[in-house]
Amino acid sequence: MVSTYKAVKKAQKGKLRGAIRSIVLDTLFIKDVFVRNDYLLDIPRVQFLYIHHVFKDEADNFDKLLSFLSKKHTFISHSEAVERLLNGNVDRPYISWSSDDGIHSNMIAAKILEKYGASCCFFLNPYSIGLKDDEKLRFFCNKKLELPKVSFLDWDDVYKLQKDGHEIGAHTYEHDRVSDMTAVEFEEDFFKTDKELTAKCGKIKHFAFTYGKYSDFNKKAYDIVFSNGYESCSSASRGCHISNGNQIKKNELFIRRDQIIAGWPLNQMKYFIKASAKKLSLDTNFIPNSYK
C-alpha cells in the first residue's frame, strides 16, 4: 500500500505524459518566480482549489501553501462559495477547498485545513469507502484513478470529517467516466450514489464529475444533477469565478477548479493559482456552449 507522494511519483515514473508535463511545468513556474505578480491574488473572486491527497511527505508543503494563501484570502465552504456566487456577493478574494476520490490521506489534509479555519468538500465514491479487498483496491486504483494501490477513507473517517465541519459531495458510485454512460445509466449511477451517501451523511447538495474535462461529462448528465435538487456541479477545468450582481443562475454556474498537488514545489502551486486569477472574466462563470 502506497502512503507517500514520493512512492506515487515513482510508480508513475516512465509514463511519457507525466514526463512531458513536468518539463512544461518546470519552464512555466521557474519563469513565474521572477515576475512580481502577487497582486493578482488581491482580485475579488471565488477560486475553487481541489486536491486528491496530502500524503505525509506533502504535509509541510501543504501547510506552507495554506499559510501563504491565508494572508490574502478568506477561506469559505463549498456551500458558501456557491451561495456567494449566485447572490452576486463576492466582495473580496475567497478560496474554497474540495477534494476528490476519498483517499485516506485526506485526513492529513483536513487537519491542516482546520488549522487555518478552512473547510473542505470531499467528493466521494461510495464504492471505495472502507474498501479493503486487495484485488479490488488494486484494480480500482490502477484503472479508475491511475494510481498505485492506496487506502481509502472508511465511514468512521467520513463521519469525523463531517463532525469537524467539512462537507460531503457525490463523485459517481465507482468513479466511472460519465461520457461513457447513457443518460439512463448515469441516472441510475447518480441515484445509487446519492442514496448511499444520503443514508450515511444526510442531504447531499454538491456533485463533481469524474476526470474533470468537459468532454468527460455531458449536458444530459448536467441536467440530471440539477433537476434532482443538487446546488452545484464541479469540473476540473482551470479558472475561477467572479460575480456580477445576480447574473449567474443556479444551473448556469459550472464550477471550475484548480487542481493542487501538495507535493509540487510551492512556486508551481502559486503559478497555477495566479494564472487562473489573471484569466478571470465573466465568461469563466458560465457553462460551455456545448452544454447549452
Q: Which residues bind Zn ion (CB under 5 A)?
A: 100-101, 210
Q: To the nearest whole angstrom, how small is the minimum distance from the Cβ of residue 150 to Zn ion?
A: 13
Torsion of CA 191, 196, 198, 202, to 10 degrees: -170
Which residue number, 100 or 196, has a Cβ lying nearer to Zn ion?
100
Instruction: Give the end-to-end CA distance of the chain in Å, rounded to a whole number.
Output: 44
Which residue number, 85 or 141, has a Cβ lying nearer to Zn ion?
141
Q: To the nearest whole angstrom, how small is the minimum distance from the Cβ of residue 15 to Zn ion?
A: 18
Q: To the nearest whole angstrom, how small is the minimum distance from the Cβ of residue 137 to Zn ion?
A: 16
Task: Count the neighbouring beta carbons within 10 Å of the beta carbon of residue 73.
Answer: 23
Q: To the nearest whole angstrom, how small is the minimum distance from the Cβ of residue 107 to Zn ion?
A: 18
DSSP structural state of residue 1: -
Which residue number, 86 or 233, has a Cβ lying nearer to Zn ion?
233
Q: To the nearest whole angstrom, how small is the minimum distance from the Cβ of residue 211 to Zn ion?
A: 7
Torsion of CA 49, 85, 68, 261, to 10 degrees: 0
- Among 43, 45, 85, 79, residue whose Cα is nearest residue 247: 85
Strand 167-170 with 120-124, pairing: parallel
Which residue number, 45 or 53, has a Cβ lying nearer to Zn ion?
53
Beta strands in 26-141 (DSSP E): 45-51, 74-75, 93-100, 120-124
Which residue number, 29 or 207, has a Cβ lying nearer to Zn ion?
207
Q: Taking CB positions, which residue lies at the least distance from Zn ion? A: 100
Q: To the nearest whole angstrom, how small is the minimum distance from the Cβ of residue 175 to Zn ion?
A: 6
Which residues, in sequence order, are bridge partners of residue 241?
A: 46
Task: Count the neighbouring beta carbons within 10 Å of the beta carbon of residue 169.
Answer: 26
Secondary structure class of 96 (helix, strand, coil): strand
Q: To the nearest whole angstrom, how small is the minimum distance from the Cβ of residue 233 to Zn ion?
A: 14
Q: To the nearest whole angstrom, how small is the minimum distance from the Cβ of residue 142 to Zn ion?
A: 14
Which residue number, 3 or 259, has a Cβ lying nearer to Zn ion?
259
255 vs 12, 26, 82, 238, CA distance in Å? Answer: 29, 27, 9, 9
Residue reference for cell 447513457: 182
HSE-up of residue 50 (Cα within 13 Å, Cβ side): 28
DSSP structural state of residue 142: I
Tell me how far apart the alpha carbons of residues 190 and 207 are, in angstroms, rounded to a whole number. Answer: 9
Which residue number, 177 or 220, has a Cβ lying nearer to Zn ion?
177
Task: Count the neighbouring beta carbons within 10 Å of the beta carbon of residue 102.
Answer: 27
Which residue number, 169 or 239, has a Cβ lying nearer to Zn ion?
169
